[in-house]
Amino acid sequence: MNDTHMNDSHTTSTGAHDRHPRHMMDRRRFIGLSGGVAAAGLGYQFGMRRPATAEVSLASSVVPARAQVAAVGERILVSVQLAGGLDFLNTAVPLGSGRYRDLRTDGAISESDVVALDDSYGLYSMPNLAARWQTGSVALVHGVGWPNSTLSHFEAEHVWERGTVDNANRTGFLGRALDELGGSQDPMIGISIDRLSPSMSAPGWWPASLPADGAMPWTNREEWNRGLVEAAQMISQPQRGEAELLAKYRASHQTVFDLSDTVGAAFGAEEESESSWLGSQLATVADLITAGVATRAFHVSQDGYDTHADQTASLPVLLTELDDAIEMFFRRLGSDASKVTLMTWTEFGRRPEWNGSGTDHGTAGLQFVIGDAVRGGHHGEPPSLTRFDRDDNFVPTTDFQGYLGGVVGGVFDIDPRIPAPGVRRTLEVIT
């Protein structure tokens, strides 16, 4: 499912051999130019990023199919999932801590390899973010978790996506927020890249999802394609009394039309290909924002943080990718950067002790929040390095609901109980 994109280097970021069938792109051109109705003149180049025609004014070419154009001055939230469980201890490294070195032994990061944020912590392998920290627009939120949390990725991920430990709740923290903002009238209020993240699951409707290259089948639909377009329009008509699966099917077909109309024109010419999968996703998000699409929340993800083994090699690669992608993203936004808040979420942190090659699942994750609307600095207490729970894991200090309620509630100026139904104390991380 993560393979719907066209760019290079979508592998887990452990330096694995690039297995991408790049040469296949040439085959597409080959098949597109040979025979039959697949002749040149086809407006849509299947699957490839469409180069914009020269001098097109992106803002004016964006015509939303259904929704009103929202005031582009409204705040936008970009949610970055760090999948696998980021090891906070080797990311925000405690300075001058003998205890840290005892726990991590030969897996400990040396202080010469971090950029000091202050007297207490240094950031590993993220020099751009460390520089941005000095501007006061980066929040480090420590020890995020919940009591008796699970060590299962998938359970923990589900809890995060729902924004509650109540597993009867089928909606997501972003989905509920977007619903509050009126999203049921315009599914493009939320765009999830690559697949619709369950964090964007909404009550009775479905936000949009988009492959990272933005390719949509009905962009610039040509006259001679009319038959297929009409067929798709026919089957996308909602019908009364249909089961939910069919309703979602029809709604998604409709959203594909909407995306084709609004998104197709939003991509700039001559993309430099991004060097990482995360970079590609964030480049797409940046382009959509600068083109003025009426979207309030985006979801992207970076995989690979489950560093049970070989962490010394893999973690810095991941963090560099993350750092570079975030830096590129804000730069690419240009003057729109001030509207955007970027938040990360990861299902948990990792075990205090080094396992010889890496770290196993733990608790108490570290999250980042970045943007002009952010109260920069440390939030929440870093977990104690000496007092652990029954399973020898860190004790969380910040309720994840407070984090989600604080960020999502703050960015959208909505009740924090909407993203986080069980929140008791909201983290004051957004101005």
Partner 1 sequence: MAESNPANVAHLLRRAAFGGRPEEIDAFVGRDLGEVVGEMFDHTAAPPAGEPPRRTTGYYAYSDEVLRTWWLHLASSSPTPAIERLAWFWHGHFATSLDKVEQSSLIHRQLVTLRRLGLGRLDQLLLAMTLDPAMNRWLDLHLSEVGAPNENYARELFELFSMGVDNGYTQADIVEASRALTGYSLDVVPQTEVVTGTLLLPELHDHRTKTVFGSSGNWSADDLVRLIVERPEPAAFISRRLWLRYAGTQGSQQIIDSMADALRSGTVVDALRVMLTSDEFYSDEVKAGLVAQPIELLVRVARNFELPIVSLDLAQLVADDEDEGLPEEMWEYVAVNWWAFEMGQHVAAPPNVAGWPHNDAWLDASHVASRIQAGRDIGWFLTDDERPPSASSAFLREIEDPSTLATAILRQFGLVEWSDATHAAVTRAAAADGWTASDQAFAAAFFSPEVTFA
Span 64-123, contacts to partner 1 by CB under 8 A: 83
* DSSP labels, 367-382: EEEESTTB--EEESPP
Q: Site for partner 1 (CB under 8 A): how many residues? A: 79
Q: Which 231-270 positions form the footprint of partner 1 (CB under 8 A)? A: 231-232, 234-235, 243-246, 248-249, 252-253, 255-256, 259
Q: How far is the CB of 6 from partner 1 (least distance, A)?
A: 9
DSSP secondary-structure letter at 110?
P
Does 2 bind partner 1 (CB under 8 A)? Our answer is: yes
**Number of residues written out for the chain:** 431
Alpha carbon distance 419, 405 (integer Å)? 6
Does 309 bind partner 1 (CB under 8 A)? Our answer is: yes
Q: Which 358-387 positions form the footprint of partner 1 (CB under 8 A)? A: 358, 360-361
- The one segment of 9-17, 288-296, 333-341, 370-378 that binds partner 1 by CB under 8 A: 9-17
Q: 218 near 242, Cβ under 8 Å?
A: no
Q: 299 near 199, Cβ under 8 Å?
A: yes
Q: How far is the CB of 65 from partner 1 (least distance, A)?
A: 13
Instruction: Identify the helix (H) or strand (E) that includes residue 280.
Output: helix 277-290
Q: What does the block give as tokens for 12?
A: 């887990």
Strand pairing report for 190-193 and 297-303? parallel
Beta strands in 194-263, from DSSP E residues, in sequence order:
208-210
- Judged by CB under 8 A, which of 99, 118, 134, 226 binds partner 1? 226
Q: Which 146-175 positions form the footprint of partner 1 (CB under 8 A)? A: 150-155
- Judged by CB under 8 A, which of 73, 96, 227, 241 binds partner 1? 227
- Judged by CB under 8 A, which of 64, 217, 268, 422 binds partner 1? 217
Q: 47 near 26, Cβ under 8 Å?
A: no
Residue in 366, 301, 303 with CA at minimum distance from that of residue 138: 366
- Judged by CB under 8 A, which of 230, 381, 413, 428 binds partner 1? 230
Does 29 bind partner 1 (CB under 8 A)? Our answer is: no
Q: How far is the CB of 256 from partner 1 (least distance, A)?
A: 5
DSSP secondary-structure letter at 172?
-
Choice between 248 and 378, CB closer to partner 1: 248
Does 41 bind partner 1 (CB under 8 A)? Our answer is: no
DSSP secondary-structure letter at 109?
P
- The one segment of 178-186, 335-343, 352-360, 412-420 that binds partner 1 by CB under 8 A: 352-360
Beta strands in 113-158, from DSSP E residues, in sequence order:
114-116, 121-124, 138-145
Does 30 bind partner 1 (CB under 8 A)? Our answer is: yes
Q: How far is the CB of 379 from partner 1 (least distance, A)?
A: 29
Choice between 149 and 341, CB closer to partner 1: 149
Choice between 59 and 235, CB closer to partner 1: 235
Q: 411 near 77, Cβ under 8 Å?
A: yes
Q: How far is the CB of 149 from partner 1 (least distance, A)?
A: 12
Alpha carbon distance 91, 160 (integer Å)? 21
Question: What pairs with residue 369 in β-bridges?
Answer: 139, 343
- Judged by CB under 8 A, which of 56, 59, 69, 228 binds partner 1? 228
Alpha carbon distance 79, 321 (integer Å)? 16
Does 61 bind partner 1 (CB under 8 A)? Our answer is: no
- Judged by CB under 8 A, which of 303, 336, 372, 415 binds partner 1? 303
Q: How far is the CB of 177 from partner 1 (least distance, A)?
A: 18
Number of H helices, E strands in the chain: 11, 12
Does 8 bind partner 1 (CB under 8 A)? Our answer is: no
- Judged by CB under 8 A, which of 16, 56, 69, 269 binds partner 1? 16
Does 3 bind partner 1 (CB under 8 A)? Our answer is: yes
- Judged by CB under 8 A, which of 37, 54, 63, 71 binds partner 1? 37
In Å, what is the CA distance from 118 to each residue of 108, 153, 287, 320, 378?
A: 19, 32, 34, 20, 10
| String marking each residue 174-213 x if it binds partner 1 according to CB under 8 A | -------------x----xxxxx---------x-xxxx--
Beta strands in 166-235, from DSSP E residues, in sequence order:
190-193, 208-210
